[in-house]
Amino acid sequence: MESTNTDAPAEPAALPIILLVEDSKTTVAMLSRYLAGHYRLLHAKDGVEAWELLTKHPEIDLVITDINMPRLSGHQLLVKIRKVEDAHLKNTPVIIMTTADDNVDRNLAFLNGANDFIYKPIDEMELQARVNVHYRLARTIRELEANRKLLAEQATTDPLTGLKNRRAFNENGEKHLALARRYNTSLSVILADIDHFKNINDTHGHDAGDEVLVAVARILDGATRAEDSVARIGGEEFALLLPSTNRLGAAVLAESIRAAVEKRKFVLDGRSVTVTVTISIGIASYEAEQTDTIEGLLKIADQRLYLAKKNGRNRICVNNEGKSSFVA
């Protein structure tokens, strides 16, 4: 058993961790003996110590707490756990220790979110059974939640570059577009395409092409703010969503990105072979266009991307005449 006031050696880290909150040394010794070998125990004398341990040790799997303790009672500790923002801590199983005839405390603990009860005097077999059930249930729930998050991330992420995919870009774009309409703020979209990308694949191979895609993705991601979104929406095509950014601001960013890609020397597969890569860019801004959808903005940006390529590539285009705010 570990305690907040002892330097006892830690038990194997692989064991599930239980936080025991109890001010009675006799009860602590008894529960430690009952659970030894199957669980690693942390001990707190009251709710204040328990809360400090919970916030410092997110690996805690389950809490067993008495009700009546100094400073912070079991009820108060339970309320703090259930109201915290951190989902892992908020859903930590909590087993309350109480006497069999204490209906008031038992009912209040249920209302506050207790998972189960252990009645004093504590029976060893009952304790082990209840702890095992709630630990396994919590572990299963957490594994399911982790898998759900992983699947959701995979569904919205480009596996090669780690950027968002077109689906995620459109979903995020519609949200920001709704905010722009509501608060009358700016919103711009940049569409960038790697020039002559097929030549890179044909000359150096698809692995080299993938290296170029990843490197360009890093340049784009590094050039943007936290509130911006960068996505790979096609083979060699990338889109940037820029909230609170007008056409001029988008053009400034686009030109800096274009210059950064052109300046970069792409070393392929760690070899001495280097290639120079350029990109063409089309820009569309919500306040300047006759559209109110993200797909509409992307379509306009795509038309200007086509004009940028038609007019010589390695340039940006901000309007339907194919003009750029900058000389590339």
Q: Which residue has the tokens 């340049």?
A: 219
Q: How far is CA 218 from CA 133, 283, 323, in A?
A: 46, 20, 27
Active-site choice (22, 49, 211, 236): 236
Show the tokens assigned to 160. 């090669």
Q: How far apart are CA 194 and CA 191, in angstroms?
A: 10
Pick the closest to residue 304 from 173, 176, 181, 193 (CA basis).
193
Q: How far apart are CA 252 and CA 254, in angstroms?
A: 6
Q: How far apart are CA 261 and CA 129, in angstroms?
A: 62
Q: How far is CA 131 from CA 13, 63, 233, 311, in A?
A: 18, 9, 48, 71
Show the tokens assigned to 194. 């790697």
In the annotation, is 236 catalytic?
Answer: yes
Q: How far apart are CA 124 and CA 83, in angstroms?
A: 31
Q: Which residue type, as a one-letter code, is found at position 270?
A: G
Q: Give the contacts of 250 (CB within 8 A, at least 6 positions apart).
A: 188, 189, 190, 242, 283, 285, 318
Q: What percent of the residues of the chain are helix, what percent strand, and what percent coil, each to the nearest 5? A: 50, 20, 30
Show the tokens assigned to 14. 């692989």
Q: Are strands 316-317 and 279-285 parallel, antiparallel or unpaired?
A: parallel
| Crossing angle of the two packed helices 206-223 and 247-263, in degrees rounded to 10 | 140
- Helix, strand, or coil (residue 243): strand
φ/ψ of 226, rounded to 5, equals: -60, -35
Residues carrying an active site annotation: 236
